Amino acid sequence: MNAKVEVIGEKLIALLSEKKIIARYELLHRVYQYVREANLNESESAELRKLLENDDIAVGIFFNILSGNPIFVNLPQLDSAMQVNNVMFHFVHTGNYGDPELAKAFKQYQDAEDEINELASINLKYLLTNFMTNAGYVLVDDAFGKLTFNGPKDNKLEFRIFTSIEDVEIVDGMEGSVILVPHAESPGPFLSFYHQKGVEVEMTETKVWVANMEKATIDPFIGYPKDLAIYKQFNDPQLAMKVKTTWCRKEGT
């Protein structure tokens, strides 16, 4: 295992030794962070993909950690999980953790929420940039909360990133742009957003796409791109149509 990969393992060991009980959401984004910071070259990336049997290194490492047979030596085996106030936590079962320890872990997670959300925003940008690069686009501007990508034939697409669908607000200047949000553990927040703001989104020709960081995929929730090259990058390109058909039918419309 090369030096850069070993550094990823060392950071994970330090993280899990400190946290003991860690929120699934934080663990996922820490893995993305460590992979980004490792700046692996193509040879190193290929080695890890083969070892993890996953095309996406961050996703592969994340699930490898939870597999019970991690590739990194001395990494604590997170073989137990518990949900606390709708947040999933992972830990080693031999720790014999009870309610006080879980409550403390939840409090620490709450206290670090701003930091974790900032990290999530960076990771969403990382995933989006890879997604758009694969469609032939280049990031040309990243300022004032807006990311602009230029593509072939003078194509251009602007994005805004939010770390929760519940935080999304449609304001002047967003017309025709794409809002990127992470997936949620339940469809509830997305259902509420669709019923409350779906019409407004469509009227302003804004789009909302969803990044599943546990799969390293992006899919359309509301609205499609005009460029077929972007459309082909979706994992489930028919999702927006399924949402519109199913959720409208549930309302009897």
pTM for this predicted structure: 0.92
Q: Which of 65, 81, 111 is the last residue of a domain?
A: 111
Residues in the chain, total: 253
**Residue 249 has what pLDDT?**
54
Are residues 30 and 126 located together in one domain of the fold?
Answer: no
Q: Which of 111, 133, 162 is the last residue of a domain?
A: 111
Structural domains of the chain, count: 2
Pairing of strands 178-182, 156-161: parallel
Are residues 106 and 137 located together in one domain of the fold?
Answer: no
Are residues 235 and 155 located together in one domain of the fold?
Answer: yes
The answer to whether residues 165 and 193 touch, using CB atoms and an 8 Å cutoff, is yes
Are residues 45 and 126 located together in one domain of the fold?
Answer: no
CA distance 32 to 41: 16
Are residues 135 and 228 located together in one domain of the fold?
Answer: yes
Are residues 129 and 105 located together in one domain of the fold?
Answer: no
CA distance 160 to 233: 19
Are residues 239 and 125 located together in one domain of the fold?
Answer: yes
Are residues 159 and 51 located together in one domain of the fold?
Answer: no
CATH value at residue 76: 1.10.3400
Are residues 137 and 84 located together in one domain of the fold?
Answer: no
Q: What is the mean pLDDT of each run of 10 residues along the chain (253 residues)?
A: 89 94 97 96 92 95 91 90 94 90 96 96 97 97 94 95 95 92 90 93 95 97 95 96 81 43
Are residues 36 and 123 located together in one domain of the fold?
Answer: no
CATH value at residue 190: 3.40.50.10670
Q: Which of 83, 111, 139 is the last residue of a domain?
A: 111
Are residues 81 and 24 located together in one domain of the fold?
Answer: yes
Q: Which two tokens stand for residue 150?
A: 């230029």
Are residues 209 and 92 located together in one domain of the fold?
Answer: no
CA distance 86 to 89: 10
Q: Phi/psi at 81 (nearest 5 deg)?
A: -145, 150
**Residue 68 has what pLDDT?**
81
**Residue 252 has what pLDDT?**
42
The answer to whether residues 71 and 161 touch, using CB atoms and an 8 Å cutoff, is no
Residue 178 domain boundaries? 118-250
